[in-house]
Amino acid sequence: MRSNENYLPYIATAALLTLAIFISFQVFILHEPARITAAETYHNNAAVAAGKDLYTKNCATCHGLDGEGSDAPALNSRQFLNTTDDGTIFSVVSSGVPNTEMPAWNQSHGGPLTDEDIKNVVAFIRSWQPTAPEITVTVRAGDASKGAAIFNGTCIVCHGQNGKGTSRAPALNDQSRLHQFNDSWYRDTIMNGRPSKGMPTWGTVLSPEQVNDLLALIDQWRNAPPSQPQPAATPTPAVAPLPTPTAAITQGSAVTATGGTAASGNIARPSNPGGGGPALSLVGNVTAGSQVYAEQCKRCHGAAGQGGINNPGSNDGTIPPLNPIDDTLVNADPKVFAYNIDLFIEHGSTPSGTNPKETMPAWGDQHKLTPQQIADVIAYVISLNKK
């Protein structure tokens, strides 16, 4: 007869093994977050190092080696870093700040850097945050006269002279709205826009300082003495000190001394809405532009912009010549002239008429031309009109 087998050692061993596996798994789990953090830190350190390199080469001349600011605002500032997320820094750096020294850096805006490069630069800037000093002047307080210049360069096209509104957009200089909403509502509305209703998103185009300038202008409208009549013959009292010639943007010639609001009807504007594009912060090359013109524009606007191409179904009957170009687009300030042309090239336009055969394509919105090509062709069109 066989003696009873003793399973106890096996059972004990199995139990111990199970326990051991269980414990080592717990230990592994406990270490996992640390391991992930270590990997992330490693990755982030690599990004910061790469970003530091790019920053030193490209940004330090204006913003200072440690972001302390010199010719350009300080970036190493607690307030700036605490209130500005990575996405916002990324887009400001990508698109630059039009009409300032701050260039567009992203290749998608004609600059030298890739998305990855800019993410690395942002990681480097972000790495300052834990020790960033309080620099209260970073985002300087708004300046209403700078705000008026921005308004006249960027918003007037839709919101009209002195914010009185046009057929494209409502009046902003409207006492009941101005008193109904506060600065933070206006900030959000300007930054986010209402793209589905034709109000562009400005948060990625304007710097925080420029938005502050606009808020100062809006505040000036809000606090204008309520009974003050708007004397028709006095040009725009609220925005008297206009520091840049941009202020003269086409509206200047069209708004008559009688202050008529019908002015917007006289101005050649594309039928599609949207503001100036990234090409405006680039320098155009006339020779390269003549090439783009010959390839893309000549079939509709004629050799050297002379026009004469029929457009059945449009009221004009022909596609407009660009040489000479419609004189409501011309401006003595080349920046304004370029802006007026750019609106058509960016967003396209449908001529009035029952069923125009040819329409102006949206070269920018549809990415048919790069910002640099648009800058080049604008330079070419301006050169054609230089007599």
Considering only residues 154 through 193, tell me which ones interact with ligand HEC, judged by CB under 6 A: 154-155, 157-159, 168-170, 172, 177, 186, 189-190
Least separation, in Å, of the C-beta of 138 and ligand HEC? 6
Interface of this chain with ligand HEC, residues 307 to 336, rule: CB under 6 A: 311, 319-320, 322, 325-326
**What whole-number distance in Å separates Cα of residue 219 and Cα of residue 215?**
6
Least separation, in Å, of the C-beta of 31 and ligand HEC? 37
The residues, ordered by sequence, that sit 6+ positions from 288 with a Cβ below 8 Å of its Cβ are: 373, 376
Least separation, in Å, of the C-beta of 40 and ligand HEC? 23
Least separation, in Å, of the C-beta of 136 and ligand HEC? 13
Please report, for residues 98, 146, 155, 218, 221, the alpha-carbon distance to residue 142 in angstroms, rounded to integers and kept in the order given: 17, 8, 17, 10, 14
Spell out, one character per residue from 98 to 137, where the chain touches ligand HEC: x when CB under 6 A holds, - when not. --xxx--x---------------x----------------
Where do runs of H (alpha helix) occur along the chain?
8-58, 60-63, 78-83, 86-95, 115-126, 144-150, 156-159, 175-180, 183-192, 208-222, 251-254, 286-292, 298-301, 334-347, 371-384
Residue for token digits 């918003």?
Answer: 155
Least separation, in Å, of the C-beta of 28 and ligand HEC? 41
The stretch near ligand HEC (CB under 6 A) out of 28-36, 60-68, 247-255, 330-338 is: 60-68
Dihedral sign from CA coordinates of 318, 319, 323, 324: positive
| DSSP letters for 3-59 | PPP--HHHHHHHHHHHHHHHHHHHHHHHHHHHHHHHHHHHHHHHHHHHHHHHHHHHT
The stretch near ligand HEC (CB under 6 A) out of 18-26, 29-37, 152-160, 220-228 is: 152-160
The stretch near ligand HEC (CB under 6 A) out of 17-25, 36-44, 232-240, 271-279 is: 271-279
Which of 13, 24, 61, 256 is in the footprint of ligand HEC by CB under 6 A?
A: 61
CA 148 from chain centre, in angstroms, equals 18
The nearer residue to ligand HEC, 126 or 234, going by C-beta atoms, is 126
The region, left, alpha or beta by phi > 0 then psi within -120 to 50, assigned to residue 236 is left
Count of residues that interact with ligand HEC, criterion CB under 6 A:
74
Q: Is 275 in the site for ligand HEC (CB under 6 A)?
A: yes
The nearer residue to ligand HEC, 105 or 128, going by C-beta atoms, is 105
Q: Is 204 in the site for ligand HEC (CB under 6 A)?
A: no
Which of 138, 152, 250, 372 is in the footprint of ligand HEC by CB under 6 A?
A: 138
Torsion angle in degrees (nearest 10) through CA of 40, 46, 48, 51: -140
Interface of this chain with ligand HEC, residues 344 to 383, rule: CB under 6 A: 344-345, 349-351, 358-361, 363, 377, 381
Q: Is 337 in the site for ligand HEC (CB under 6 A)?
A: no
Q: Is 68 in the site for ligand HEC (CB under 6 A)?
A: no
Q: Is 239 in the site for ligand HEC (CB under 6 A)?
A: no
Could you tell me which residues are beta bridge partners of residue 106?
Answer: 113
